[in-house]
Structure 1
Amino acid sequence: MKPITRALRLAPLTLLAACASQPSGTLLVQQQEDCPLQLARDQVLVLTLPSDPTSGYRWEMREGAANVLHSLGPEVYAAGDDDDGLVGGGGHSTWRFKAAEAGEGHLMLISRRPWETGVAPADMFDCRVEVRP
């Protein structure tokens, strides 16, 4: 077997071993059951929730755990694979945060139609966040 061919065959295993030995710097959260959250300082939190802005419902940040988390940008919406642009076509909204300070905070988002005042939220994400030094 040629040395280059052997190296190419071993490359995926080497990459896999390298990835497995590295601590994950990112915590992915997709549901309420993932809470409460414990993060290390400087760890990145990626929160992804089901979303359907075509129906008028939008996620609204109520508490952003600002004392322990730093936002890495605005909400990003992505349509689902089977979304054809019709009302009711689902997708997901994603927020990114960095664990900036040790301590505890509260991350709460609600899903509602902004023009409907006095109406209970259609959905809620409510999570305690702890950042370790």
Structure 2
Amino acid sequence: MTAVRLLVPLSLALLTACAQQPRHSIALDDQADCPMQLQTGQQLTLTLPSNPSTGYRWLVQNPANSILRSLGPEVYSHPEDAGVVGSAGQSVWRYQAQAAGEGHLILVYQQPWAPEVHPVKTFDCAITVK
């Protein structure tokens, strides 16, 4: 059998396998996108509006440790073209689905030095990993 005859079926098989794989990385930036379903190994990037200059921060209350693994600390960034001191930006967290199961990823937006005060915002996303 010639090399070309062997490569064509192999290439088609690889393309079919790739088409059936879930997206490797999922972006989440709105609670309306929840509940969320992930496959084991998929990455989840959570992006929420944030403005630490006001004293408020997103605090992770429940990181869904039984199904998600954190890929690093929160990363805050703000638009370079805002030109205004204290302007709002965004906070980003990255996770990887590590085990099958169900859980909730919960974050609250509050001043860290006043945990007794009710959070201004709560982000609660039900996540299922298959």
TM normalised by structure 2 equals 0.80
Bigger drift between 50-59 and 74-83 goes to: 74-83
Letter in 2 for 1:128: A
Q: State the match for 1:65 in structure 2.
A: 64
What's the secondary structure of 1:33's corresponding residue? helix
1:39-118 matched pairs, under 5 angstroms = 39-87=38-86, 89-118=87-116
Residue pair 2:67, 2:100 contacting (<8 A) in 1 also: yes
What per-residue deviation string (whole Å, max 9, x for no partner) do you get for residues 34-61 of structure 1? 1011000100000000000011110000
Structure 1, unaligned runs of 5 or more = 1-20
Deviation beyond 6 Å, 4+ runs, structure 1: none
RMSD (Å) for aligned C-alpha atoms? 1.7
TM normalised by structure 1 equals 0.78
Letter in 2 for 1:129: I
Paired-residue identity, %: 45
Q: State the match for 1:38 in structure 2.
A: 37
Residue pair 1:83, 1:91 contacting (<8 A) in 2 also: no
Residue pair 2:97, 2:129 contacting (<8 A) in 1 also: yes
Structure 2, unaligned runs of 5 or more = 1-18
What per-residue deviation string (whole Å, max 9, x for no partner) do you get for residues 66-90 of structure 1? 0000000000001024433523x11
Tell me the distance in 2 between the aligned counterparts of 1:51 and 1:110: 11
